Amino acid sequence: MNLLYANDRRGEYPPSWYAATAVGAAERPPLRGTVRADVCVVGAGYTGLSAALHLAQRGLRVVVLEAHRAGWGASGRNGGQVGSGQRLDQDWIEARLGREDARHLWQIAEEAKALVRRLAADMPGTDWRPGVAHAFLHPSEVEAARRYADRLARDYGYEQIVPLDGSETAELLGTRAYVGGELDQGAAHVHPLNLALGLAVAAEAAGATILERTEVLALEPGQPATVRAQTGQVVADHVILGCNGYLGRLEPQVAARVMPINNFIVATEPLGADAPLSQPVAVADSRFVVNYWRQTPDGRLLFGGGESYGWRFPDIVATVRKPMLKVYPQLAEARIDHAWGGTLAISPTRNPCFLRPQPNVLSASGYSGHGVALATMAGQIMAEAIIGQTARFDVMARLPTPRFPGGTLLRHPVLVLAMTWFALRDRLGI
Ligand SMILES: Cc1cc2nc3c(=O)[nH]c(=O)nc-3n(C[C@H](O)[C@H](O)[C@H](O)COP(=O)(O)OP(=O)(O)OC[C@H]3O[C@@H](n4cnc5c(N)ncnc54)[C@H](O)[C@@H]3O)c2cc1C
């Protein structure tokens, strides 16, 4: 089974609210024959498109090969949250890598948000909006979040997090499901597909070539490397892999370290006065299988929740409606106008996996649900690495991403067991 086609039609965006409101989804031709390039990029999500943009801006000949359409993958389907920091907190990173690397990694994450903001400013329909609220289920989580926010202010100079008590949280979110929260004013949310489409247009304007409906079937290492598709091949001095959850077994060293999982979103009908949020912020709660939501400019609730670990998506409306109604029981009668899923990649530690599987092949993936900013940054960082500036690639690669136990054969059953256990803890409230 190939995840590129398991739940989707060839070359078609999923039936998302994002696809329904996309700006500039121009079609591009597939690869034909043999093409020579300085860099061949596989995958036209944030990772691949940002790499292409930054390489083309430096004058390199770049060809991007995309199995479906630009922004077709997780980049065109996600919750749009441009979160702060790395995926794991600074305490975890400092304990493993020491203070110097931890500071560098925080800086990279801050620059990642700034990069998305700067890029989005020139892109139609990206709708950058500041503010991501975190909602907590247990008093101990509120305490831990307060301590962490204080530490970020003291040791990292990050003073954007505003604590919210129980009633402020209820007032902001329009629900009493949470005991407290915080608002990260330095984080933001965007229209994710329009960000990807804008990146594609910017990369082409800088000189990159993007070819769609071109699935890469094999990567033959060498100097130069050959990237083979059904209808042609690209011979390139460097290769960048930006395939994330859809990588399959294209590169075994990466495949052993990241693992695809599915996540789902629904969009309600426009809710008018019943729209629950009192401010245009995005929200994520503290469940292991996280619920996240926000409102669209036309007053729909976009609610994400539920996860699956198999090839095929479940009944998405049923999967997401359940957690949505736990938070907002008043929406029991609200019509669901759009429901879609996407596949992302996680690593065993939940750190992103930056790897150089061959001397001239670079890969970044496994952002573990924290890729809107970091994948965009990863593209820039890999572009830097190709022209010899490797400091940022090297520090990202020091974040530990061991192989999944059992390799690609057993990673799936082991993960399903572990995830099911944590999801059960969510349901039991422990
Ligand atoms: C439902 C959902 C909600 C999410 N919410 C958030 C959020 O709110 N905030 C956040 O930070 N992150 C979120 N994420 C994660 C985020 O979307 C990803 O981390 C990010 O988009 C990864 O970008 P990417 O370019 O690496 O991968 P993708 O966008 O998945 O792009 C990979 C591309 O590679 C192509 N490809 C793969 N294999 C081949 C091949 N062999 N040949 C040619 N092309 C190939 C695919 O077709 C695809 O277009 C979410 C993900 C999902 C699915």
pLDDT (0 to 100) of residue 259: 93
DSSP single-letter state for residue 430:
-
Cα–ligand 1 centroid distance for 46 (angstroms): 7
Q: Which residues of 342-376 are buried (b: 16+ CB within 10 A; e: fewer)?
A: bbbbbbbbbbbbbbbbbebbbbbbbbbbbbbbbbb
All residues at 6 or more sequence positions from 32 whose CB lies less than 8 Å from its CB, including other chains: 231, 232
User: Using CA of residue 277, residue 279, residue 283, residue 285, what is the dihedral sign?
Assistant: negative
Q: What counts of helices (H) and strands (E) characterise the chain?
A: 12, 17
Per residue in 109-124, pLDDT (tens digit) is: 999 999 999 999 999 9
Cβ pair 133, 276 in contact under 8 A: no
Q: What are phi and psi of 293, to 5 degrees?
A: -160, 165
Read off the tokens for 32. 């034909």
Cα–ligand 1 centroid distance for 75 (angstroms): 4
Residue 291: band (very low, low, confident or very high) from pLDDT cuts 50, 70, 90? very high
Cα–ligand 1 centroid distance for 244 (angstroms): 6
Give me the architecture of the 115-189+260-344 domain, per CATH: 2-Layer Sandwich (3.30)
Residues within 6 Å of ligand 1 by CB: 4, 42-48, 65-68, 72-75, 77-81, 83, 215-216, 242-247, 250, 263, 265, 292, 304, 342, 344, 365, 367, 369-372, 375
225 vs 219: CA distance, rounded Å: 7
Looking at the predicted structure, is the pLDDT value of residue 32 above 90? Answer: yes
Question: Which residue is associated with the tokens 């933001």?
Answer: 188
Question: Given the CA of residue 217, which atom of ligand 1 is nearest to it?
Answer: 41
Looking at the predicted structure, is the pLDDT value of residue 405 above 90? Answer: no
Counting beta carbons within 10 angstroms of the beta carbon of residue 1, is it exposed (0 to 12), middle (13 to 18) or buried (19 or more)? exposed
141 vs 120: CA distance, rounded Å: 33
One-letter amino acid of 278: S
- Of residues 104, 112, 198, the one with CA closest to residue 376: 112
Question: Given the CA of residue 247, which atom of ligand 1 is nearest to it?
Answer: 38
Q: Which CATH number fits domain 17-78+193-257+348-418: 3.40.190.10, 3.40.640.10, 3.50.50.60, 3.10.450.50?
A: 3.50.50.60
pLDDT (0 to 100) of residue 311: 87
Read off the tokens for 23. 């700006």
Question: Given the CA of residue 229, which atom of ligand 1 is nearest to it?
Answer: 42
Cβ pair 253, 354 in contact under 8 A: no
Cα–ligand 1 centroid distance for 344 (angstroms): 6
Question: Given the CA of residue 68, which atom of ligand 1 is nearest to it?
Answer: 47
Question: Given the CA of residue 245, which atom of ligand 1 is nearest to it?
Answer: 30
pLDDT (0 to 100) of residue 310: 86
Per residue in 233-254, pLDDT (tens digit) is: 999 999 999 999 999 999 999 9
Q: Please, what is the end-to-end C-alpha distance for the chain in angstroms?
A: 36
| Mean pLDDT within 151-173 | 98
Question: What does the domain layout of the chain look like in residue ranges?
Answer: 17-78+193-257+348-418, 115-189+260-344
Q: Whole-model pTM? A: 0.96
Other residues' Cβ atoms within 10 Å of the Cβ of residue 135 = 27
Q: Which of 244, 254, 261, 320 to mutate to test the pocket of ligand 1 (most atoms within 8 A of CB)?
A: 244
Peptide bond before 221: cis, by omega within 30 degrees of 0? no
Per residue in 262-286, pLDDT (tens digit) is: 999 999 999 999 999 999 999 999 9
201 vs 210: CA distance, rounded Å: 9
Q: What is the dihedral of CA 126, 130, 136, 142, to 10 degrees?
A: 150
